[in-house]
Amino acid sequence: MKGVKFKENTMLVSQTDVTGKIIYANVDFCKTSGYSFGELVGQSHNIIRHEDMPRVIFKLLWKKLQNGKSIYAFVKNKSKDGGHYWVKAFITPIIKNGKIDRYVSYRTFIDNDSSMKSVSKLYSIFYEYEKNHTVNESFEYFLKYLEERNLSYEDLIIRITLGKQISNKVTLSIDFRSYFDDHIIFRTHIIHQVQLKSKNIKVTKSCCCRFGKWLESVKNEGYTNCSEWKNILVAHDDVHKKLQQYVDDSNKGVSELHLQGLITSTEKDRDIIFDTLEYIVDKYEE
Ligand SMILES: Cc1cc2nc3c(=O)[nH]c(=O)nc-3n(C[C@H](O)[C@H](O)[C@H](O)COP(=O)(O)O)c2cc1C
Q: In whole angstroms, how large is the CA radius of gyration of the chain?
A: 28
Ligand 1: which residue has its CA nearest to atom 9? 49
Residue 29 and residue 37: Cα distance in Å, rounded?
9
> What pLDDT does residue 125 have?
94
Ligand 1, atom nearest to 12 Cα: 8
Ligand 1: which residue has its CA nearest to atom 21? 46
Residue 4 and residue 236: Cα distance in Å, rounded?
53
Ligand 1: which residue has its CA nearest to atom 6? 45
- Any ligand 1 atom below 6 A from CB of 58: yes
| CB crowding 164-201: b at 16 or more within 10 Å, else e | eebbbeeebeeebeebbeebeebbeebbebbeeeeeeb
Whether pTM > 0.85 for this model: the answer is no
Segment 12-61, tens digit of pLDDT: 999 999 999 999 999 999 999 999 999 999 999 999 999 999 999 999 99
From 15, 47, 58, the mutation candidate for ligand 1 (largest count of ligand atoms within 8 A of CB) is: 58
Please determine, for residue 64, whether its predicted confidence score (pLDDT) is greater than 80.
Answer: yes
**Those residues with Cβ within 8 angstroms of residue 219's Cβ, 6 or more apart along the chain or in another chain:** none
Segment 214-236, tens digit of pLDDT: 888 888 777 787 888 999 999 99
Integer CA distances (angstroms), 202 to 191, 195, 241, 247, in order: 12, 14, 12, 9
Ligand 1: which residue has its CA nearest to atom 24? 46
- Any ligand 1 atom below 6 A from CB of 283: no
Integer CA distances (angstroms), 52 to 39, 85, 116, 191, in order: 23, 12, 14, 56
> What pLDDT does residue 168 have?
54
> What pLDDT does residue 215 have?
87
